[in-house]
Amino acid sequence: MQLYSYFRSSASFRVRIALELKGLAYDYLPVHLLKNEQLQAPFADLNPTHLIPLLKDGDLTVAQSLAIVEYLDETHPEPPLLPADPAGRARVRGLALDVACEIHPLNNLRVLRYLVKTLGVDDEAKNAWYRHWVEDGLAAVEAQLAGSPATGRFCHGDTPTLADIVLVPQIFNARRMDCRLDHVPTVKRIADHCMTLDAFAKAQPSACPDAQA
């Protein structure tokens, strides 16, 4: 398998964690977002959405990080990244989507560029925007985690799932942008626990080939 990735892309980070948790070897193909390589050949020809990550598995191309993780879970079931019961699966997917749909899309590079270049937003207001969605969004995740007997050492029980895979990269972004985290102790506790696992540590931005280049 080949993964098109950028070390700081949190959506790519999700897929890297999943690949490590599954113990799957892959070729790391860097796409430099700040240099707009996602808009140029050869990558742009592969993915009309110009988004990373993108997974190649033989002739098959899979886009969108959550779809990639579900694909990996269906084609390589061990260890499972979703619970076995529909209620548990729904809870894990819901938590993952609370980050993937409510926080991350507001803070990715092209949105921040639009704020600055098209709307003329200054740096201070741009950073406040970033922090607002992260801090508010994580508070909503915290409320669900802290109040539920289903929460364990990880977001759902005592093994990592899709919810942890999506949460941890968001915490990396939050820390890089100096967001408040004192209001989300359960989120912090789980993210810190995840980082004690080899799979999460090996997948982190600073461990990527393009970070070290």
Q: Interface residues with its own copies (CB under 8 A)?
A: 48-51, 60, 62-64, 66-68, 70-71, 74-75, 86-87, 89-91, 93-94, 97-98, 100-102, 104-106, 111, 114-115, 118-119, 121, 125, 128-129, 132, 140, 143-144, 147
| Nearest-approach distance from CB 145 to its own copies, in angstroms | 10
Whether residue 77 has a cis bond before it, omega within 30° of 0? no
In the complex with its own copies, the residue whose CB is nearer, 109 or 201, is 109
| Nearest-approach distance from CB 86 to its own copies, in angstroms | 4
In the complex with its own copies, the residue whose CB is nearer, 102 or 210, is 102
Q: Is the Cβ–Cβ distance between 20 and 202 less than 8 Å?
A: yes
In the complex with its own copies, the residue whose CB is nearer, 99 or 168, is 99
Q: Is the CA virtual torsion 56, 57, 63, 64 positive or negative? A: negative
Inter-residue long-range contacts of 87-94, CB under 8 Å, 24+ positions, other chains counted:
88/150, 88/156, 88/157, 91/148, 91/150, 91/156, 91/163, 92/155, 92/156, 92/161, 92/162, 92/163, 93/162, 94/144
Provide the token pair at 129. Answer: 């925007």
If one counts every other C-beta atom within 10 angstroms of the C-beta of residue 162, the result is 28
| Nearest-approach distance from CB 83 to its own copies, in angstroms | 11
In the complex with its own copies, the residue whose CB is nearer, 128 or 195, is 128
In the complex with its own copies, the residue whose CB is nearer, 67 or 211, is 67
| Nearest-approach distance from CB 207 to its own copies, in angstroms | 25
| Nearest-approach distance from CB 103 to its own copies, in angstroms | 9
Q: Is the CA virtual torsion 169, 3, 22, 61 positive or negative? A: positive
| Nearest-approach distance from CB 34 to its own copies, in angstroms | 19
In the chain, which ranges are E strands? 2-5, 27-30, 54-57, 60-63
In the complex with its own copies, the residue whose CB is nearer, 42 or 209, is 42
